[in-house]
Amino acid sequence: MLNLSISTLISRIITLIIAFTVHEFAHAWVAKQYGDDTAERAGRLTLNPLKHLDPIGTLMLIVGGFGWAKPVPVNTYALDKRSSSAEMFVSIAGPISNLLLAVLAAIPFRTGLVQYTISGSPYFPSISQFLFEFIIINLALLIFNLIPLAPLDGEKVLTSVAPPKVSNVLYTIRPYGPLILLGLIMLGRIGSLDVIGWIMGPPLQAMFRLLVGV
């Protein structure tokens, strides 16, 4: 956190409020379309950030590079009654919302309305600085959430489309998913085996270049 400039901190806080809120709203909205009003009854079918943000999870992402929002509650029985693919679409809705946010933020760069640069004031972000952080964070949330480990969205998506043998393995390790994920993250923080970085780095860089055109 001490290495973050005030302008970067401001950019990340605003971005995370928007990114987490839209991500969780997307889960709730798609669940509602498939007949599950669990999230709506819990007050989560809203763009009010206070309903979605987890204070500790948001702080961890700002200062530590990983974090979380409050998971949207869903009723898998209600979803399965409507469609066997419903849970997959509900799960992938969050990551797709982050992709759409990144695409929208890249438009000013692509159209020449904003010149791409990440330099600027250390105290208040320029438009370019903010858009840079906004795109990077949303792409990072997209890729991270598609890692096929519980409780991430990617685990539910893969379980829905994978062959039975693969799905059974995922079901078996699901209770240990959070510990495995935390262990992988900590290896990159305190050791030299940055598995998460290896997974996320190449697609993040490629997608950023594709969107921004640099």
What residues act catalytically? Answer: 24
**Tokens at 60, concatenated:** 């961890």
Query: How many domains, the chain?
Result: 1
Neighbours of 91 (CB within 10 A): 24
Q: What is the pLDDT of residue 120?
A: 67
Any domain includes 128: yes
What is the C-alpha to C-alpha distance for residues 61 and 13, in angstroms, rounded to an integer?
A: 9
Within a domain: 176? yes
Is there a domain that residue 13 lies in? yes
Whole-structure pTM value: 0.92
Query: Does any domain span residue 1?
Result: no
Q: What is the pLDDT of residues 102-148, one digit of tens each?
A: 999 999 999 999 998 876 677 889 999 999 999 999 999 999 999 99
Domain limits for position 82: 6-212
